[in-house]
Structure 1
Amino acid sequence: MVSLTQPDETSSQFRRFWWGEAVSGMGSAITTLALQTLVLVSLQGGAVQVGWLVSARWLPYLVLGLVVGALVDRVRRRPVMVVTDLARASLLGLVPLAWWLDVLTFPLLLVVVVLFGTASLVNDAASLSFVPRLVPRARLQRAHARLDGADAVAQTAGPALAGALIRVVGAPLSVLVDALTYLFSAVMVASLRGVAEPTPAPAAVGARALAREVGDGARWAYGASGLRRLALATHVWFAGQAILAVVVVPYGYLVLDLSALQLGLVFAVAGLGALLGAALSTRVGVRLGTGGAIICSYSVTVVGVLVMAAAAWAPTGWAGAAVLAVGQLCHGWAMGNSNSHEMAFRQSRTPDELQARTNTTLRSLNRAVIVAVSPLAGLLAEVVGYGPALGAAAAIFTASALMLALSPFRRASVE
């Protein structure tokens, strides 16, 4: 077996990987707003259609996630990341092309998004499992904090840039920017040198052997690893997050009467919160411990969602945008603070040969929650209103925080 080289999160190898993730994350932040605006404005859809769009994005995780994790553990991870980045760039390029040819429809958009989600699933399985090969386990939290910081910058600048791009060139052409960022990511990953990947152990052939490998990953994630309590609480958290993903954009457009630029700035504030959360995450972890830091984050999210709901009582326009932005700031800070601790806790307890299966098993079930809840969230918002839908999200986030706070996980740490 080839020995692994593990410098730290300041090495040139990690910096190249970081740049690829940072730039593609910026493009993804643009596309998130651009696609939903495309559905609401260009295709004349509503909250239900946005729900189906979000569901389609994560559907591959539900259908293929467990199998993909096992397959990625069988191969070298860097080539997988390069190929899937190129695939994502090509798929996103189809959106402005179809618009230009005047053949873009909502069903066609859903097909593209499902295929894009499939490529992202494979890429996520490889890239998340690649980080422990770049840095030692003792430095995982700091490495993930740097990645979270890059993502937070993307979430800060991306939506504001998206709002400006949508205003100038329209939503379809804005998606093209994301396609270019994935090309950049592919180049960065392809140029990585000096990171040795162990030759995967020969895998048994056949569906039964593959099912056994999938089962090994699931048993580890929910069994002896000690990850089960956090995994279950995170699944609940994603039910609340699914509601936010569906509701906030139409809530801003239809209830608060915001423009694309105003809504982009609101999401930029969320990114600023995430940047602050990522920057402070190590200090928070030192003070509260891994478990305490995650519980604190989940609790702050509850406050943030309640503030978002209160925006409906503010005057429409900039006042409503300001209140919504405060709520997004809280939620962004919570995600920026929590993610590096969750990833470090998970990866520090998982052997290298199970990394892809463990990461993908948990992420697949998280995304399965989104797939199931997103259409219901859109229906809930249209039937009972956006305020009650946000109230339901706050209740779900509260439940996830209590699941951890009332268990031994509150004393969890990364050793």
Structure 2
Amino acid sequence: MKLRRNSAFVRFWLASTVSDFGTYITTVALTVLILVSLKGTALDQGLVNAARWAPYLIFGLLAGIWVDRFRRRTVLITGDFGRGLILAMLCLLGVLGFLSVPAVTVLMFGFGTLALMSDAAHQSFLPQFVARPLLTHANARLQQSDTVAQTTGSAVAGGLVALVTAPFALLLGSITHFLCGSLLLSLKHAAANKPPLNRDGSLRRQIGEGLRWVYGHPRLGPLSWSTHAWFIGSAIMGTVLPALVLNDLRLGALGLGLILSGAGAGSVVGTFISIRIGEWWGTGKTMIIARLVQPVALSVIALSPLIAAVGGPLNERASDFPAAWPAALWAAFAVATGGQFLFWLSMGVEGPLEMGYQQAVTPDRLIARMSATKRSMNRGMIVVGAPIGGALATITSSSVALWAAAGVMLLSALVLMFSKFRTANVDNDQLTEEEALVQ
């Protein structure tokens, strides 16, 4: 069956797209809320990011087992409605003037807990209504819609924040989560699929089995360690980039949204060419090349404050509207946007291949645990990297912190390059349907 004729996948794809728009609107609004509305620092931004991802570190290894005890659709719907309520609460507190950085930190911990459960269910839900040979194509479609959302959602969020303030932009993010949950309610056929109950031992044994699969597999193991290192670099970047745009370049909320849109445009191109390049070069080789490009892109972004300085010191915040920017600031904006485009172009190439490979080589009964184990450790690296990035940017500069992130990502690429993953190929390594049933 072609994906476009799979009604369950089409509805799931639509729900994911709506949720993706909400994610990028929320990201921009939350960043401006902390750094501008609440006058926070890069370190505050890092601490809020750490709180958002801390549940992955604390509960992550249990998430896959918990998810397996419920229908994946139920978990996804609960996660969307719960996150919608938390964002609505942030909006209300912001409008009433009761919001502070500690309050945002606490609420984002709850938001992250719900996101953890949804993420664990998301990867294990897709194979219930998409055949294994089509998983890479399905993940490519999902990531393509994610990149479109990133391109337009970030720009819309930047303009929206400039017009109606960050709390009301968070309300729009809340509405998208409610819409996503409502769409998932219509997946009645997929709801009939019962989760694979794990009756094969104690909780400790089930966690151990998931860990052994992730780290003991000859190719998933190196990929996992490499990705953990990558997430430390990514966390540094995610914390520092908004501070660089809002505090160093002083481009305002719209400028931040437009730069993040450059990331989305790059990712759109990357996802459209991902499968074709993966077929030509193989999964392993393609992902290694993509990861080698990313440190270069970060180094380009780190140069943008030096280019802006050519036009003199930026003592006042630039106008929220690009027409008022001086030439040097436009040049810095172009360099930062170009770096984002290149970085996310490589991410767009890598993402569908990585997701499809993991799902294709993992038995169905282990997919939730594989997903939860990897995500918990990856997001746990954000808890480590985000405060480091914020502290490093505060003590030195945003550019130095970005170069440090580039160094960590280079290390991540080298781990893959000198491992068995370089020969990984989804066509050769995936389980057959019969093997999946047996295992």
TM-score, structure 1 length as denominator?
Answer: 0.95
CA distance in 1, matches of 2:155, 2:181: 25
Aligned counterpart for 1:271 among listed residues 261, 264, 269: 264
> Matches of 1:51 and 1:183 in 2, distance apart?
28
Query: Are 2:66 and 1:71 equivalent residues in the alignment?
Result: yes
Kindly indicate whether the alpha-carbon contact (under 8 Å) linking 1:58 and 1:371 is maintained by their aligned counterparts in 2: yes
CA displacement, residues 19-56 of structure 1 (integer Å, 9 cap, x when unaligned): 11101111110111111110111111010000001111
For residue 413 of structure 2, what is the aligned residue in structure 1? 401
Counterpart of 1:139 in structure 2 is 134
Range with greater deviation from structure 2 (111-120 or 74-83): 74-83
**Could you tell which deviates more after superposition, 222-231 or 357-366?**
222-231
Aligned-partner Cα distance in 1 for 2:234–2:423:
25
Instruction: Tell me, yes or no, if structure 1 residue 193 matches structure 2 residue 188.
Output: yes
Q: Is the 8 A contact 1:8 1:136 kept in 2?
A: no
Q: Which amino acid aligns with 2:282?
A: G
**Does 1:308 find its partner at 2:301?**
yes
Counterpart position of 2:385: 373
Partner SS, residue 401 of structure 1: helix
- 8 Å CA contact 1:58–1:370 kept in 2: the answer is yes
2:374 corresponds, among 350, 358, 362, to: 362
CA distance in 1 between counterparts of 2:233 and 2:117 reads 25
Q: Residue in 2 aligned with 1:126? A: 121
Amino acid at match of 2:13: W
- 2:322 is matched with none
Is 1:280 the counterpart of 2:273? The answer is yes
Is 2:308 aligned against 1:296? no
Displacement of 1:199: 5.0
Give deviations 1:357-388, integer Å, cap 9, x for gaps. 10010011000000011111100111121121
- What's the counterpart of residue 3 of structure 1? none
Q: Matches of residues 4-15 of structure 1 in structure 2 within 5 Å?
A: 8=3, 10-15=5-10
Task: Give the AA of the match of 1:82.
Answer: I
Among 144, 147, 154, which residue is 1:152 paired with?
147
Query: What do residues 298-339 of structure 1 show as CA deviations (whole Å, max 9, x unaligned)?
Result: 112112101101112213522211100000001111111111
| Residue equivalent to 1:342 | 354
Residues 68 and 198 of structure 2 are in contact (CA less than 8 Å); yes or no, is this contact kept in structure 1? no
* 1:7 and 1:135 in contact (8 A); partners too: no
Residues 53, 112 of structure 2: 8 Å contact kept? yes
TM-score, normalised with respect to structure 2: 0.90
Give the Cα separation in 2 of the matches to 1:395 and 1:339: 21
| Equivalent pair of 1:7/1:136 in contact (CA under 8 Å) | no
Using the alignment, how far apart are the partners of 1:186 and 1:24 within structure 2? 9
Amino acid at match of 2:40: G
Equivalent-residue separation in structure 2 for 1:129 and 1:317 (angstroms): 45
Q: Is the 8 A contact 1:61 1:368 kept in 2?
A: yes
Greater Cα offset, 44-53 or 68-77: 68-77
Q: 1:170 aligns with which of 165, 172, 180?
A: 165
In 1: Cα distance, 2:363 partner to 2:3 partner: 18
- Displacement of 1:214 after TM fit? 1.3
Rounded Cα–Cα distance in structure 2 between residues aligned with 1:114 and 1:253? 24
Distance 1:53 1:75 in 2: 30
- In structure 2, what is the Cα distance between the partners aligned to 1:368 and 1:69? 15
Which ranges in structure 1 are unaligned for 5 or more consecutive residues?
Answer: 1-5
- Per the alignment, residue 320 of structure 1 pairs with 332
The answer on 1:226 being equivalent to 2:219 is yes
Distance 1:388 1:162 in 2: 28
2:79 and 2:366 map into 1 onto residues whose CA distance is 21
Q: Which residue of 2 aligns with 1:116?
A: 111
Aligned equivalents of 2:195, 2:366: Cα separation in 1:
14
Query: What letter matches 1:365 in structure 2?
Result: M
- Checking the alignment, whether the CA contact within 8 Å between 2:219 and 2:424 is kept in structure 1 is no
What's the counterpart of residue 363 of structure 2? 351
**1:167-216 deviation digits (Å, cap 9, x = unpaired):** 11001110011111111111111101333414533648xxx822221111
Count of aligned pairs:
407
Alignment identity in percent? 40
After TM superposition, the structure 1 = structure 2 runs for residues 206-245 of structure 1, keeping only pairs within 5 Å, are 209-224=202-217, 226-245=219-238
Among 89, 92, 98, the alignment partner of 2:93 is 98
Q: Does 1:180 align with 2:175?
A: yes
Match of 1:47 in 2: 42
Matching residue of 2:396? 384
1:36 to 9, 31, 54: 31
Q: Which runs of 5+ in 2 are unaligned?
A: 309-327, 428-439
Instruction: Tell me how far apart the structure 2 counterparts of residues 322 and 10 of structure 1 sit (CA, whole Å).
Output: 41
Following the alignment from structure 2 to structure 1, what is the Cα–Cα distance between the partners of residues 9 and 333? Answer: 37
More displaced, 209-218 or 261-270?
Answer: 209-218
Equivalent pair of 1:9/1:142 in contact (CA under 8 Å): no
> Take 2:198 and 2:355, find their aligned partners in 1: how far apart are those partners?
28
CA 1:203–1:7: 2 relative to 1, 3 Å: farther
Contact 1:262 1:318 survives alignment (8 Å): no
